[in-house]
């Protein structure tokens, strides 16, 4: 502490002793550990009913101390930084090598997906999709997550209105 510091020695000692008793960092189930962290990168979207687009994204899979990671995704339009989509939920371990992804979207959807974890890849199949009465007519969603080293990639397929299940999004992010 320098002579211009406003912290008293007593405050410094209290801070040091309180950090010594801080709770431990939550552990992450080994099967989910490759996904844990903050990821930032780019993505592109395409769909038969809209123009192709590019975006930047931040995804966080945060440890909770339980057998799940809290999930949060936020996207922005490439170039302008205008906010686009966000969603949140949980990636939970339901068996030694099986995960479940629960997602809530502010557009009025909730999703539940399950899939086997194999070599850093989770091929998720939809278990349930629920929508609020004024949500867009989405009928099905499929997701895949993959971690290789410091890279997270994902793909999302969607069936919307009269369009059958079609590839919609691809993202490539790097661990922050």
168 is in an annotated binding site: yes
Q: What is the pLDDT of residue 26?
A: 73
> What pLDDT is stored for residue 24 in this prediction?
57
| Predicted local distance difference test score (pLDDT) of residue 7 | 41
Identify the CA nearest to 87 among candidates 58, 66, 51: 58
Cα–Cα distance for residue pair 69/126, rounded to 1 Å? 19
What are the residue ranges in the chain where pLDDT is below 50? 1-19, 22
Residue whose tokens read 């709770």: 23
Domains of the chain: 36-175 (2.40.128.20)
Rounded CA-CA distance 54/52 in Å is: 7
Residue 27 confidence (pLDDT): 84
Q: Torsions phi, psi of 27, nearest 5? A: -80, 160
CA dist 28 and 119 (Å) reads 17
Structure tokens that stand for 128 in this block: 């349930």
pLDDT at 153: 98
| Burial of 125 from C-beta contacts in 10 A (0-12 / 13-18 / 19+) | exposed
The pTM of this model reads 0.84
Whether 74 contacts 83, CB under 8 Å:
yes
**What are the beta bridge partners of residue 158?**
141, 166
Residue 33 CA to residue 68 CA, distance in Å, equals 10
């Amino acid at each position: 502490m320098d002579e211009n510091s406003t912290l008293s020695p007593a405050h410094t000692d209290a801070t040091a002793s309180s950090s010594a008793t801080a709770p431990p960092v939550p552990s992450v189930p080994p099967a989910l550990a490759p996904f844990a962290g903050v990821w930032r990168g780019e993505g592109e979207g395409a769909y038969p009913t809209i123009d192709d687009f590019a975006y930047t994204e931040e995804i966080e899979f945060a440890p909770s101390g339980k057998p799940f990671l809290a999930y949060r995704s936020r996207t922005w339009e490439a170039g302008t930084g205008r906010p686009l989509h966000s969603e949140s939920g949980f990636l939970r371990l339901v068996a030694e090598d099986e995960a479940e992804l629960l997602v809530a979207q502010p557009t009025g959807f909730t999703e539940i997906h399950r899939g086997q974890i194999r070599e850093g890849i989770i091929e998720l199949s939809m278990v349930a999709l629920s929508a609020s009465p004024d949500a867009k007519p989405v009928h099905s969603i499929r997701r895949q997550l993959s971690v290789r080293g410091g890279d997270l990639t994902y793909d999302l397929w969607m069936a919307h209105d009269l369009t059958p299940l079609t590839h919609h999004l691809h993202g490539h992010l790097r661990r922050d």
